[in-house]
Structure 1
Amino acid sequence: MTNNIIFRNKRLKLLLTPFILFGIILIAMALTVVFQYRTIEEISHMPLERMAIGFLEALGLVFLYNYLVRKLNVSYPWKRNWLVRSIIDFGITIIIPTIIIGTINFAINAGWMPEHQNEEQFRIIIFIMPLMVSALLMVVVEMIVATEERNQLELKITQLEKEQINTKYTALKEQLDHHFLFNNLSVLSSLIYESTEKADKFIQDFAAIYRYVLSINKQDLVTVEEEMEFIKTYLNLYKYRYEDRFDYNCNIERELANYLIPPLSLQVVVENVLKHNVVSQQHPLTITIETTDGKLIIKNNLQLKTDKFVSTQTGQANLIEKFKLLNCEKPLFYSQDNHYISLIPLIPPSHD
């Protein structure tokens, strides 16, 4: 369907070219009358049938040049040798009209075409005009073909970039999904030995969370309200484990509930907080999630672990990459006043 539309558009451009050309000629003729270089009577006696023949010639030249230019762009493109290509184009604009003129002249001499009574005007229209028209049409066709090829190249590049972005973004989402599952199964494993009641409650909440993960598998964006409901349940899992050693607070402006955010963004942030900070009776950890200036602020008291552990260093990098692929403002991460702060931009609903 799209290819047929493109083909019709190309054909329409070519058909319009001779009309535009002769429109310019008619305007020029009208201006000669306006400025009294010619009279309407003189214009009316011009060989209109010959002009009609000239129009058909121009129409034929347009399609012929279109065919030749496209073939040359494949067999001998401009980038190969622009000087030789220019000579080839110039030769075409001279040779083809010369053949046409010679054919018409032969037909007149053979008596197949009648001579016109105004020989001067006849020679201008039949002999001189084809050379001028040929050169102009070649330039126009080259411009049309070059523009089409450039647009097709840009469209192809855009499609390839989009496919690459979709592939990369899907890979990022899948990576986060697997990471999420692995970490929470580890938490469940430890809870089973501590309290079966906690483990049972954990399983119920974990099932609800995993349903959310499955439901957003094909989504690039979710609402802040959906993501907040998810993260509250997610943080509850850690409350079961750490009890009074861990706490969280959420304060989200209601008018931002329909704003958008990449799914699992908050999970990445809070997971990093819990992974890198001490959570103990002497050092309780608190996470606060609130909004300001159209951004989510995730803040926690900074109490970094001193023991060394292997980190993949992919959490924040993946989150930044997700926003980059969505062509949105990237998240910020920094330390301030013994707190670690994450700023996650919210995307207006119109972006979706």
Structure 2
Amino acid sequence: MKIRLLLYFFLCFIFCFLNFLEDLQEASLPLALTEVILIFPMSFGFTLGVFFIYRRIVKIPFYLSKNELNRKLFLYSIGIVIVLLLSLILRFISLQLFNDDKNSQFFDTLFFAFFGIVGVFVFFVFSIEAYLASEQQKNELRIKLYEVELDSLNDKYISLKNQLNPHFIFNCFSNIVSLIDKDSEKAIRFVEELSSVFRYNLTTSEELLVKLSDELKLLESYIKLQKIRHEGSLHFDIKIDASKLPFLIPPLTLEVLVENSLKHTIFDKSNPLYISIYSIGDLLVIENNYSPKAIMETESLGIGLKSIEKQFRLLGKKLPTFKIENNLFKVELSLIDPSDA
């Protein structure tokens, strides 16, 4: 309401100022100022009157029940009626107060002058209000569409996480089964460490993003799991800038990337798998020696990597890169600043 009042105050001021400049060319400064002092409050008061009439009209149930086209027709039909009534009232007042000639015609030049002036004010205010109302509706529609789109993206993101988590868990259980056949004691230790991983998975199930520091804690448990299974065949080197620990990434990202390296690489005690995780600026790099299994499609990103890529896309962040460089399979992820999340 205050913004509207300021808008009409400013517009009336401009109107009166332009009128003042015009009068100044034909009359003296005192006379021009006197006219401004008379015209400004009258024009502003008349504009406010029309504004409040408009506000009353748009709250009428009949108006609200119509579609957009019929609303405009109804609004401007009422506007014409208002213009006619106000012109008649002003003409009647002028005859009673300022005209001693009883033979003057009611519908003379002065009446049509009133009609034109009142019409300009009424349709000026109505047009501004209709435009502002239309813009407000568009903005509200944009907000609703944005909220719907955001909900849709969130649903897609959660769906991806729901796809990723069973994929991760299935591989863990596959590891347990293979260990039971080979070494039951290792299988028991594996299950104990796996409980820490599942506990973290449950606590972050509804999170879109988690701190890198939390992911690294989980990674420690996951590394212990894999070292139990692949004793002497795995080497990890983790060097993360401490300032990047509060930055964010999607949950289970590091575990899925490490799992991808284990799944697609040939390694044993004589030919260990070396996995390095380090930060460069706002990038997180995960790389391992490239020795792909013959039965795997080395061109394929796999379910886990594709899911990570889709999560970054849905979050509107820079997509991760996957490349083979200097006989290393390298993944580069953009760390997400908490202030941008």
- Regarding TM over 0.5, the answer is yes
State the alpha-carbon separation in 2 of the partners of residues 51 and 221 from structure 1. Answer: 57
Q: C-alpha separation between the residues in 1 aligned to 2:175 and 2:140? A: 53
* Compared CA separation, residues 34 and 21, structure 1 to 2 (3 A): same
In structure 1, distance between residues paired with 2:292 and 2:301: 17
Q: For 1:218-297, list aligned pairs within 5 A.
A: 218-297=206-285
Q: 144, 152, 157: which is aligned to 1:164?
A: 152
What is the rounded CA distance, in whole Å, between the counterparts of 1:66 and 1:74 in structure 2?
13
Match of 1:327 in 2: 316
Task: Give the C-alpha shift of residue 325 in structure 1.
Answer: 2.0
Shift in alpha-carbon separation, 1:207–1:72, aligned structure 2, 3 A: closer
On the 8 A contact 1:61/1:134 being kept in 2, the answer is no
Q: Answer with 155-164 or 274-283: which moved more.
A: 274-283
Equivalent residues of 2:16, 2:39 under 8 A apart: no
User: What residue in structure 2 maps to residue 347 of structure 1?
Assistant: 336
- Find the residue that maps to 1:244 and give its secondary structure: coil
CA deviations on 1:95-145 (whole Å, 9 max, x unpaired) are: 54124323544x449x8x63468x999768743310221232232123211
Change (3 A) 1:49 1:14: closer
Distance 2:284 2:98 in 1: 85
Q: Partners of 1:193 and 1:51 in 2: how far apart?
A: 93
Give CA deviations for 1:268-321 in whole Å, capped at 9, x if unaligned: 211212222223345432211112232111111112222369x99321221111
AA aligned to 2:292 is L
Give the AA of the match of 1:193. D
Deviation, structure 1 residue 171: 1.7
Aligned to 2:97: 114
Contact 1:50–1:126, Cα closer than 8 Å, also in 2: no
The answer to whether the 8 Å contact 2:23/2:32 transfers is: no
Which blocks of at least 5 consecutive residues in structure 1 are unaligned? Answer: 1-10, 79-84
Runs of 4+ aligned residues of structure 1 deviating over 6 Å after TM superposition are: 47-50, 87-92, 119-122
Counterpart residue number, 1:100: 86
Q: Structure 2: which 5+ runs fail to align?
A: none
Partner residue of 2:13?
A: 23
Distance, in Å, in 1 between the alignment partners of 2:99 and 2:51 is 23
Distance 1:296 1:48 in 2: 65
Q: Aligned residues: percent identity? A: 25
The one-character-per-residue Cα deviations of 1:180-224 (angstroms, maximum 9, x if unpaired) are: 222112211222232233222212211111111112223222222
Match of 1:54 among 20, 43, 46: 46
Distance verdict in 2 for CA 1:77–1:277, change over 3 Å: farther
Give the deviation of 1:157 after TM superposition.
0.9
2:167 matches 1:179: yes
What's the TM-score, normalizing by structure 1? 0.78
TM-score (norm 2): 0.81
Compute the displacement of 1:62 (Å): 3.4
Q: Is the 8 A contact 2:238 2:276 kept in 1?
A: yes
Q: Distance in 2 between the 1:126 and 1:25 partners? A: 17
